[in-house]
Copies of this chain bind each other. A is one copy, B any other.
Amino acid sequence: MTDSTPADPTEQEGRGARRRDAAVTRQAILDAAVAAFTRHGYDGVGVRDIARNAGVTAMLINRYFGSKERLFAEAVDVAFAPRTVISGTGADLPRATARALVTRTAPDAEELGPFLLLLRSAANPSAAAIMREAIARHAGRHLTEELSDGVSAELMLAVQAGVWLMRSVLGTTALAEGEPEELAGRIESLFQVLVTPDGPGSR
């Protein structure tokens, strides 16, 4: 659980404590929380780990966020809010999104992404409820208005989550070590089926 990044000494002091600033500290905690929850899941990190990586004490988390669960809720919001879960628009959407998915799940990708957070915290029912709401609020709405159909939108999320699971979490051989180009093409075909209202159903 020791995550290397110790305290972010980018402020100015070479060593010792940083200047006291509630907003900055709060943000540091939130950043550390997103990273930690994404890497180890809700139950996998303790507030002490997050606090250490933010350069503060565990109790400060409770002062600023009330509880670990409320911190998680904010972290989920951060993880799902800025980044889009789809790439491209219109006809280019399947291709762009498939490419982005393969790239972001590459073994050497350092950006972790919201799906990792989703998968690793899915076991905890409270965490699952929080994430469901966040998905409905951000990604789901965005996807639905682009795809005009809720089922298609959530199936697209499902495919992405599944690929992320196999490739990044489990590391199954075929998907993790396969040729990125081929894989992207296969996934693009899947997305293609989803964006077309309901074309050639069988074969």
Contacts and interface: CB of A to CB of B under 8 A. Distances in A.
Interface of A: 40-44, 95, 118-124, 128, 131-132, 135-136, 140, 150-155, 157-163, 165-166, 169-175, 178, 182-183, 185-190, 192-194, 196, 198, 201-203
Given A120-B123, A153-B174, A155-B190, 10 more contacts: A40-B123, A44-B123, A119-B119, A119-B123, A122-B122, A132-B171, A154-B166, A188-B202, A189-B193, A192-B202
Nearest to A182: B151
Contact of A122 (B136, B170, B201): B170
Contact of A44 (B43, B153, B187, B188): B43
Contacts of A158: 159, 162-163, 165-166, 175
The CB with the most chain B CB atoms within 10 A, among A44, A118, A170, A183, is that of A170
Nearest to A202: B192
Contacts of A123: 40-44, 119-123
Contact of A165 (B161, B175, B198): B161
A161 B155 CA distance: 11
Contacts of A182: 151
Nearest to A155: B186
Contact of A173 (B136, B166, B201): B136
B151 A186 contact: yes
A151 B43 contact: no
Contacts of A140: 172, 174
Given A121-B123, A122-B169, A162-B161, A175 B154 contact: yes
A12 to B, nearest CB: 37
Contacts of A152: 186
Given A44-B123, A136-B172, A203 B192 contact: yes
